[in-house]
A and B are shown apart, each in its own frame.
Chain A
């Protein structure tokens, strides 16, 4: 390895702010949380998946502005779908929220150099948005569970309709909040 490049990395590590370290830590822990949700549901670990997701999460924490996170999310989602065969478990929205947190923190970290400090107001705004996204996810899960228990035919269409309603309401809420603030 080029020594100048190595020195550059060392300098970058040295110059990383404490807040960025926390963001990167959340980036690593969030997909592992999704894996833990699967483990909590089925009761067994997936060691190979754990290694793969950890490596991918670390890679995306180092280079958040890349498509590595997409692969990590795909691995976690595929693991859930292959391992778990039910939707009425609360670990499903938990895993989904973990993936949302992973995406959000990764997206936020990608917009800042490693030495940067995210303004508190921006952090709070992102946290609020993520919580709103999490509540939408929980709402969708409740809807899916409800439809699943009714065992009605045409669940997909109803689900799509539900999604459309959710998206529309989200858009209206967002538009109203912007107009109200102006």
Chain B
């Protein structure tokens, strides 16, 4: 519970009105002997007396919570509050003001409940469901909670603030059919080119010191008279290094139900690729450049690691300053990994970084996440500048492709298939051996 301020029971303008009309009316009727005033003032006196007689003495106790605090895009969380000690309360109203990327149910964000004094319960519960339509960290509230006495005469208010909900990006649908890049880890699902402790048959060889007894091939051993073992290829994983360009956001974001901006596509695509490889048992690392805050996740595998990656993706905040660009040029390059860079490629920094990674001997692919329909404003000069920048971008992309870095447009499932197929083909091709 994070109730920031509580106002005690206080009279409303309605109560003031009832008392003024009632008291002044009866007083005037008695003083001036005008019975019509008495009739006109009677209902107000009635309301004033009733309201005063039922004035709540104790302040209610507000207990509130929001659950769950971490959701995916498109999912909903619920703010719920319970007021205890509401003996003299007529009804309770809670109002969650509208927030960007938060859809409330009811749509107005106003929920109310009448306190039925017929049963023995002295609590009133209100709840507002909130659906997050965009990834990121969202502030919930401040939510006003108001308890009202009979005839709306007295009100008690509380302001509930300080809730934050983390909305993880909903990874897009992604799949890759081709075989993987050469594996270099210790465990995993991919067949290594090196023999080792795995499941795929490699051959039968004489027993060596250190071989496991369960690997002994008894049939061959009996035939030959010497101990032989069945050797296998090692099962190893791939380190997939994701580089996310968060230098700027282009296009208009309509949330999970609308159009996607470049950063939306980047974040969701990064989540999709990470999910795909992590569920295959590979290791995935993440480096976000051009973002404020945490920007690096070391390589690891498993579902828990996917959550870590999505957590970092969810808090991406583009740093468009010069300092952000300078920071973007730095960052460690992994030793041996399949590097995938996701960028709208408007800033040349991403392409420079991709070339730099490729020059370290890593296999790199650049995923272009610029939406097709990025609208600039109606200003002719801006429109012209944007077109010139797009032409320059085409030239930069061609030059990067010429040095062997493929640039692939993000199209969802199968986007990386040509690239993965190509590197698998390269790995399987005969190589010149040094003798």
Contacts and interface: CB of A to CB of B under 8 A. Distances in A.
B50 A113 contact: no
A155 B32 CA distance: 11
B268 interface: no
Given A107-B151, A113-B95, A133-B46, A141 B110 contact: no
Given A110-B14, A115-B107, A92 B114 contact: no
Q: Taking each of A97, A111, A129, A159, which has the highest tally of chain B beta carbons within 10 Å of its own beta carbon?
A: A111
Interface in A71-117: 73-74, 77, 80-81, 84, 86-87, 92-93, 95-97, 99-100, 103-104, 106-108, 110-117
B91 interface: yes
Contacts of A112: 93, 110, 112
Nearest to B37: A81
B109 A163 contact: no
Given A65-B13, A111-B146, A136-B42, A171 B18 contact: no
Contacts of A122: 90-91, 112, 114
Nearest to A84: B36
Nearest to A114: B108
A172 to B, nearest CB: 11
B95 A99 contact: no
A65 B91 CA distance: 17
Contacts of B151: 104, 107, 129
A61 to B, nearest CB: 14
Contacts of B53: 171, 174-175
Contact of A103 (B44, B90, B110, B113): B44
Interface in A131-182: 133-134, 136-137, 140-141, 144, 147-148, 155-156, 159-160, 163, 166-167, 170-171, 174-175, 178, 181-182
A107 to B, nearest CB: 4
Contacts of B18: 103
Interface in B1-48: 12-14, 16-18, 20-21, 25-26, 29-30, 33-40, 42-47
B106 interface: yes
Nearest to B18: A103
A147 B118 contact: no
Given A70-B21, A111-B146, A125-B90, A159 B38 contact: yes
A159 B13 CA distance: 28
Contact of B33 (A117, A136, A156, A181): A156
A66 B13 contact: yes
A134 B38 contact: no
B116 A81 contact: no
Given A87-B35, A87-B39, A116 B93 contact: yes
A17 interface: yes
B30 A182 contact: no
A108 B13 CA distance: 12
B115 to A, nearest CB: 9
B339 interface: no
B54 interface: yes
Contacts of B26: 160, 163
Contacts of A115: 106-110
A59 interface: no
Contacts, number: 175
Nearest to A145: B35
A4 B227 CA distance: 87
A19 to B, nearest CB: 11
B130 to A, nearest CB: 15
B17 A73 contact: yes
A80 B117 contact: no
Interface residues of A, number: 64
Nearest to A178: B117
A113 B112 CA distance: 10
Contact of A117 (B112, B116, B153): B112
Given A77-B25, A103-B43, A159-B30, A113 B108 contact: yes
A96 B35 contact: no
Contacts of A171: 49, 53
Interface of A: 15, 17, 65-67, 69-70, 73-74, 77, 80-81, 84, 86-87, 92-93, 95-97, 99-100, 103-104, 106-108, 110-119, 121-122, 125, 129, 133-134, 136-137, 140-141, 144, 147-148, 155-156, 159-160, 163, 166-167, 170-171, 174-175, 178, 181-182
13 contacts: A70-B20, A80-B36, A81-B37, A84-B36, A96-B40, A111-B91, A113-B93, A115-B108, A116-B112, A118-B91, A118-B112, A144-B36, A174-B50
Given A119-B113, A160-B26, 14 more contacts: A66-B13, A67-B16, A70-B13, A70-B17, A77-B25, A86-B36, A96-B42, A103-B18, A107-B14, A108-B152, A110-B12, A111-B93, A112-B93, A174-B53
